[in-house]
Amino acid sequence: MKVARQAVQYAAEQLGFSALGVAPAGIDQGDALEQWLNDGCHAGMHWLERHLPLRQNPALLLPGVRSVIMLTYEYPRKDARRSTGSVARYAQGEDYHKLLAPKLADLDETLQFYGGSQKCFSDSGPVSERFFAAAAGLGWIGRNGLLVRPRGGSFCFLSCILTTLQLPADRPMHNHCGSCRRCEQACPTHALQNGRCDARRCLAYWTIESKQLSAPPDIQKAMRGYLYGCDACQEVCPWNHLPPPHAVDSHLLMPARMAAMPQDELAGLRVNEWGHLLSSSPMQRTGSDHLQRNIRSFSVRPPS
Ligand code: B12
Ligand code: SF4
Ligand code: SF4
């Protein structure tokens, strides 16, 4: 099935993916996820508990699965709103789910030509994407918990294709974090410990996923200035300061109006204006009420 791999690799390059790797689907995932769940690190994301059996066994998602194809797609390396309330780089432009789904469907079609059945996801399914990306030799899991690549660092989306085809697999890479601990030291809430992220303390969780209207006081204090997500543990990573491996898709850049809008103007927008401003953004999934919460409760300093 070398030829199928070559074909899908070529097609992925044409579609703008920056790298592709393959891991065997049946590889032992260890008990890191179960341990993380048992320790309560998933905070209020209870769907992660429900997905555990599927995550541990990709054959429940696609009977007969033999290989997992992992792909990277670059997102912007600059925060377009740094001085006006930061938005995580991955969420600056259009919704990546919508951008990547048709590209993955194209790759599915390529693989069907070689007799494969596929299931494709990009942050949209119960697959341990970081685990498989590391197993597919695309990089290593850094102390910030993310997939870090020797060319390009961690500023990328991961996508995966489960396939029934037996494709030639890649070798995992050594971990190159060495003695560096910059990400742990830079985390505003000390959410990173022993190479894993405790969502109960992570600002990405509190600004994107949490349904609560307020956070514990120390977290709330750290949230000021964070409108949506957090990149602190990536900004300091030396591997993110090297040139990107591929140009960034212009759909993922922040529109100028959103980049320039001050926080108080954002906070004053009505629901329909929010809907219009964020109509194609991944931020819309969080809902305007929660974004307003981030701005009001977390981002704006109370008047002194
Ligand atoms: C839930 C989730 C979150 C949660 C929890 C974060 C976390 N650290 O797990 C919250 C909301 C906090 C979050 C935040 C962010 N997320 Co998020 N998130 C996810 C999601 C949906 C699941 C992750 C998960 O299951 N975590 C639990 C841990 C335990 O599982 P895991 O990361 O898969 O780890 C596996 C391996 O590490 C392995 N493992 C670890 N140690 C060891 C040791 C041994 C011996 C073995 C065998 C295995 C092993 O086992 C684990 C289970 O298989 C994934 C998409 C996906 N389906 O995978 C995106 C994903 C991880 N997120 C992503 C991003 C971009 C982010 C943010 C940067 C967004 C932001 N800027 O605000 C932050 C970064 C926070 C951080 N430092 O991790 C990207 C990461 C891209 C990359 N380069 O790695 C992903 C892959 C989405 C995507 N498709 O692009 N996220
Ligand atoms: S995303 Fe922010 S809060 Fe979460 S682990 Fe990284 S630096 Fe810490
Ligand atoms: S900042 Fe240092 S320790 Fe953290 S992921 Fe990057 S290289 Fe590894």
Closest listed residue to residue 255, CA positions, set 95, 84, 93: 93
| 58 domain residue, yes or no | yes
21 and 151 both lie in a single domain: yes
pTM of the predicted protein model? 0.95
Q: Are 180 and 236 in contact (CB under 8 A)?
A: no
The two three-digit tokens of residue 75, written as one number: 């997102």
207-221: pLDDT as tens digits: 999 988 788 888 988
Looking at ligand 2, which atom is closest to the CA of residue 233?
A: 7
Boundary of a domain, candidates 163, 191, 210: 163
Domains of the chain: total: 2
**% of the chain at pLDDT higher than 90:** 73
- Residues whose CB is less than 8 angstroms from the CB of residue 72 and which lie 6 or more positions away in sequence, other chains included: 17, 18, 19, 133, 138, 147, 149, 152, 156, 157, 158, 159
Residue whose CA is at the smallest distance from ligand 3 atom 7: 177
List the catalytic residue out of 106, 123, 170, 249: 123
Over the chain, what is the mean pLDDT? Answer: 92
Is 148 a residue whose pLDDT tops 70?
yes
Q: Please, where are the H alpha helices in 92-231?
A: 96-113, 129-135, 182-186, 203-204, 217-222
Q: Is 123 a catalytic residue?
A: yes
116 and 148 both lie in a single domain: yes
Closest listed residue to residue 144, CA positions, set 261, 37, 268, 235: 235
231 and 108 both lie in a single domain: no
187 and 159 both lie in a single domain: no
Residues with CB under 6 A from ligand 3: 142-144, 148, 177, 180-183, 236-239
166-224: pLDDT as tens digits: 999 999 999 999 999 999 999 999 999 988 999 999 999 999 999 887 888 889 888 88
Give the pLDDT score at 221: 87
117 and 213 both lie in a single domain: no
6 and 100 both lie in a single domain: yes
Give the ligand whose atoms come closest to the C-alpha of residue 89: 1
Instruction: Say how far apart CA 27 and CA 166 lie, in whole Å.
Output: 13
The CA 81 to ligand 1 mean position distance, Å, reads: 24
Mean pLDDT, rounded, for 18-22: 98
